[in-house]
């Protein structure tokens, strides 16, 4: 047989006529109302000149303290293909009146293009877990669509990060997953009207940023703003076990065509039936779907340990089903998903003495912290087999007048988790040190070795005084501004195990 005749014809896709470039000069100009200096194409977008990759469009934003136009030369030295500017420059560019507004306009254009391509858009918010759910959803949908999913990177979830994430959406995207955050009422309403999700998820309601709100109910109302941007007939996914479920359900019903609940409640549409430890770590989950999700049972493994990740996985699976994704591929993605830097990544480091294994485990949760995520990750530490459990905990920020109570309240989960050594960082942690009995009777002092440091540098000195030993499991968690990421990097420099699987804040 002629070899050429044996070749199968290349499959024809509906979007074969869509270009491969992210944006052309003409498309950027049309979206922003600007004027292009010439013909060019870009493959990406960046607002930070240090993050520019070859082929990117550098968007020269003007902030309160800096002007992106000052970094144009550096951006083009790193390979930028063009820039979005508000003044003429000697490089390929699109000239606009305001680069900030142009970024928003480009986000709107990307969202309209996604509609034309038939993409399913998913928005994610919540007091905790939103970055992890966003990443898990992306992994699940990207695997099922063979690389046709897109998501916001890192925690690009504010008034700059959301339009930038939209602008980065490839024209052939089938699933777009966008994280949206807020610390004041009204912020989420603006972001969700830009994203216009077909599916909107609230992971949980907890006292994150409560210093800016009258109470948790006000936080729930602010998070519920995500439903205001839902496309007609869209789907809201909400936590059935949360104390503010009724509020979320009522708010969702005003805007959504379908409201789907997830959790452990008997009435949840995506309901947990069973969760048992999986061989090699993680959890084997059995869940039941009902209502809009159809009647079926699922069994899958999640790599991340912790009860909070069991709940997260239910939200992910419900969203995959609502988006028409492949649940089988989603299960495989959850089984393989590793922890994120600062949000659950695990590192194995060399450690002398101890149990003789020569290895200690570092759990990196250094990016963020609030009362709910602190409790969840402390509980997950308690489930880690270890010779000695150590917690380096930084202060939780933006808790307002309730700060002392929330910090002191961490004593109970630390004791329940069997943590033997604790290093507290930041002045807010003084009340927790007192609650743990730093100057209490010898019985408690014999159980927990406690240090209270003012800064991350002092915490590093405390930890260095009793270096990690073989068999130790060390959790490092705090608000990003505390700076515990530097401690993680120092401990893991040259680590032999690399990042692994873990929980999330």
Please give the pLDDT value at position 504.
Answer: 36
Please give the pLDDT value at position 464.
Answer: 87
Q: Which residue has the higher pLDDT, 65 or 177?
A: 177
User: Are residue 409 and residue 373 in the same domain, yes or no?
Assistant: yes
- To the nearest whole percent, how much of the chain has pLDDT over 70? 92
- State the pLDDT confidence band at 442, using cuts at 50, 70 and 90: very low
- Residue 79's φ and ψ, nearest 5 degrees, are 110, 10
- State the pLDDT confidence band at 502, using cuts at 50, 70 and 90: very low
For the cut 60, the answer to whether the pLDDT of residue 404 exceeds it is yes
164 CB-contact burial (10 Å; exposed 0-12 / middle 13-18 / buried 19+): buried
**Measured between alpha carbons, how far is 140 from 223 in angstroms, rounded to an integer?**
24
Q: Check the CA dihedral 179-181-185-186 and report its sign.
A: negative
pTM of the full predicted structure? 0.85
Q: What mean pLDDT, rounded, does the chain reach?
A: 90
437-475 b/e with 16+ CB inside 10 Å = b? bbeeeeeeeeebebbbbeebeebbebbeeeebbbbbbbb
Full strand arrangement of the beta sheet holding 93-95? 35-36, 93-95, 82-85, 56-59, 44-46
- DSSP codes, 260-295: EEEESSTT-SEEEEEEEEPTTSSEEEEEEE-GGG-S
- What's the domain count of the chain? 3
Please give the pLDDT value at position 499.
Answer: 41
Q: What average pLDDT does this structure show over 456-476?
A: 92
Residue 297: count of CB within 10 angstroms of its CB:
10
Please give the pLDDT value at position 505.
Answer: 36
For the cut 60, the answer to whether the pLDDT of residue 290 exceeds it is yes
- State the pLDDT confidence band at 278, using cuts at 50, 70 and 90: confident
User: Are residue 251 and residue 361 in the same domain, yes or no?
Assistant: no
For the cut 90, the answer to whether the pLDDT of residue 193 exceeds it is yes
Q: What average pLDDT does this structure show over 263-282?
A: 92
For the cut 80, the answer to whether the pLDDT of residue 498 exceeds it is no
Within a domain: residue 12?
Answer: no
Q: What average pLDDT does this structure show over 263-291?
A: 93
- Of the listed ranges 17-21, 54-58, 217-221, 438-442, the least confidently predicted one is 438-442
55-72 b/e with 16+ CB inside 10 Å = b? bbbbbbbeeeeeebbebb
User: Are residue 285 and residue 357 in the same domain, yes or no?
Assistant: no
User: Are residue 272 and residue 187 in the same domain, yes or no?
Assistant: yes
Q: How many Cα atoms sit within 13 Å of 420 on the Cβ side?
A: 11
Within a domain: residue 140?
Answer: yes
**Measured between alpha carbons, how far is 84 from 99 in angstroms, rounded to an integer?**
7
Q: What average pLDDT does this structure show over 253-274?
A: 97
CB 300 within 8 A of CB 276: no
User: Are residue 289 and residue 193 in the same domain, yes or no?
Assistant: yes
User: Are residue 354 and residue 473 in the same domain, yes or no?
Assistant: yes
Domain's final residue, options 65, 98, 131: 98
User: Are residue 193 and residue 229 in the same domain, yes or no?
Assistant: yes
For the cut 80, the answer to whether the pLDDT of residue 20 exceeds it is no
- State the pLDDT confidence band at 356, using cuts at 50, 70 and 90: confident
Q: What average pLDDT does this structure show over 99-121?
A: 97
- State the pLDDT confidence band at 4, using cuts at 50, 70 and 90: low
- State the pLDDT confidence band at 7, using cuts at 50, 70 and 90: low
- State the pLDDT confidence band at 2, using cuts at 50, 70 and 90: low
User: Are residue 89 and residue 182 in the same domain, yes or no?
Assistant: no
CATH code of the domain in which 320 resides: 3.40.1190.10
User: Are residue 160 and residue 74 in the same domain, yes or no?
Assistant: no
Query: Mind listing the pLDDT tens digit for each residue in 292-344?
Result: 899 999 999 999 888 899 999 999 999 999 999 999 999 999 999 988 888 88
- Of the listed ranges 30-34, 90-94, 221-225, 367-371, the least confidently predicted one is 367-371
Please give the pLDDT value at position 17.
Answer: 60
Please give the pLDDT value at position 340.
Answer: 80
User: Are residue 367 and residue 327 in the same domain, yes or no?
Assistant: no
Domain's final residue, options 336, 360, 380: 336
Within a domain: residue 500?
Answer: no
- To the nearest whole percent, how much of the chain has pLDDT over 90? 76
CATH code of the domain in which 403 resides: 3.90.190.20
Listed in order, strand segments (DSSP E) in 180-319 are 199-202, 235-239, 258-263, 270-277, 283-289, 296-302
Please give the pLDDT value at position 98.
Answer: 97
Domain encompassing residue 430: 345-492
Within a domain: residue 332?
Answer: yes
Within a domain: residue 429?
Answer: yes
Within a domain: residue 69?
Answer: yes
User: Are residue 150 and residue 270 in the same domain, yes or no?
Assistant: yes
- State the pLDDT confidence band at 13, using cuts at 50, 70 and 90: low
Please give the pLDDT value at position 3.
Answer: 55
Strongest mean pLDDT among 205-219, 346-360, 482-496: 346-360
Please give the pLDDT value at position 12.
Answer: 62
Q: What average pLDDT does this structure show over 467-489?
A: 93
Please give the pLDDT value at position 15.
Answer: 63
**Measured between alpha carbons, how far is 393 from 417 in angstroms, rounded to an integer?**
14
Domain's final residue, options 98, 132, 159: 98
Within a domain: residue 485?
Answer: yes
Query: Mind listing the pLDDT tens digit for each residue in 118-157?
Result: 999 999 999 988 999 999 999 999 999 999 999 998 878 8
Q: What average pLDDT does this structure show over 68-82?
A: 97
CATH code of the domain in which 67 resides: 3.40.1390.10
For the cut 70, the answer to whether the pLDDT of residue 437 exceeds it is yes
User: Are residue 305 and residue 389 in the same domain, yes or no?
Assistant: no
Q: What average pLDDT does this structure show over 102-125?
A: 97
For the cut 80, the answer to whether the pLDDT of residue 160 exceeds it is yes
Within a domain: residue 257?
Answer: yes
- State the pLDDT confidence band at 494, using cuts at 50, 70 and 90: low
């Amino acid at each position: 047989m002629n070899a050429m005749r044996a070749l199968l014809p290349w499959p024809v896709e509906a979007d074969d006529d869509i270009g491969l470039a992210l944006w052309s000069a003409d498309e950027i100009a049309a979206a922003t109302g600007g004027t292009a200096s010439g013909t060019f194409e870009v493959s990406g977008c960046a607002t930070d000149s240090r993050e520019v990759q070859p082929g990117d469009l550098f968007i020269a934003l003007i902030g309160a303290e800096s002007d992106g136009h000052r970094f144009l030369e550096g951006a083009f030295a790193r390979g930028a293909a063009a820039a979005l500017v508000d003044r003429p420059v000697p490089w390929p560019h699109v000239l606009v009146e305001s680069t900030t507004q142009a970024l928003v306009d480009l986000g709107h254009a990307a969202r309209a293009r996604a509609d034309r391509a038939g993409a399913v858009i998913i928005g994610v918010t919540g007091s905790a877990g939103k970055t992890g759910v966003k990443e898990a959803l992306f992994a699940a949908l990207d695997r099922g669509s063979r690389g046709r999913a897109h998501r916001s990177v890192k925690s690009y979830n504010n008034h700059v990060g959301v339009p930038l994430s939209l602008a980065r959406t490839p024209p052939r995207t089938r699933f777009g997953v966008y994280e949206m955050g807020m610390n004041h009422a009204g912020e989420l309403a603006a972001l969700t009207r830009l994203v216009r999700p077909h599916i909107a998820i609230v992971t949980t309601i907890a006292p994150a940023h409560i210093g800016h709100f009258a109470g948790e109910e006000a936080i729930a109302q602010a998070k519920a703003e995500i439903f205001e941007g839902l496309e007609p007939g869209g789907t809201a996914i909400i936590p059935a076990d949360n104390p503010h479920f009724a509020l979320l359900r009522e708010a969702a019903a005003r805007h959504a065509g379908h409201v789907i609940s997830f959790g452990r409640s008997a009435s949840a549409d995506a309901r947990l039936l069973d969760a048992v430890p999986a061989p090699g770590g993680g959890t084997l989950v059995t869940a039941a779907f009902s209502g809009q999700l159809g009647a079926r049972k699922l069994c899958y493994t999640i790599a991340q340990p912790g009860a909070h990740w069991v709940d997260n996985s239910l939200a992910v699976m419900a969203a995959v089903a609502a988006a028409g994704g492949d649940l089988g591929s989603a299960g495989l993605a959850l089984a393989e998903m590793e922890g994120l830097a600062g949000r659950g990544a695990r590192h194995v480091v060399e450690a002398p003495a101890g149990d003789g294994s020569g290895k200690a485990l570092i759990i990196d949760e250094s990016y963020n912290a609030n009362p709910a995520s602190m409790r969840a990750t402390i509980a997950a530490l308690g489930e880690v087999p270890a010779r000695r459990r150590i917690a380096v905990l930084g202060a939780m920020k933006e808790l307002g007048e309730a700060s002392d109570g929330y910090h002191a309240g961490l004593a109970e989960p630390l004791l329940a988790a069997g943590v033997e050594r604790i290093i507290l960082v930041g002045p807010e942690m003084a009340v927790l040190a007192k609650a743990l009995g730093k100057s209490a009777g010898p019985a408690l002092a014999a159980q927990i070795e406690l240090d209270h440091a003012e800064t991350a540098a002092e915490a590093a000195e405390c930890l260095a005084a009793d270096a990690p030993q073989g068999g130790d499991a060390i959790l490092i968690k705090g608000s990003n501004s505390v700076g515990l990421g530097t401690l993680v990097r120092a401990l893991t420099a040259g680590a032999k195990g690399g990042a692994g699987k873990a929980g999330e804040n």
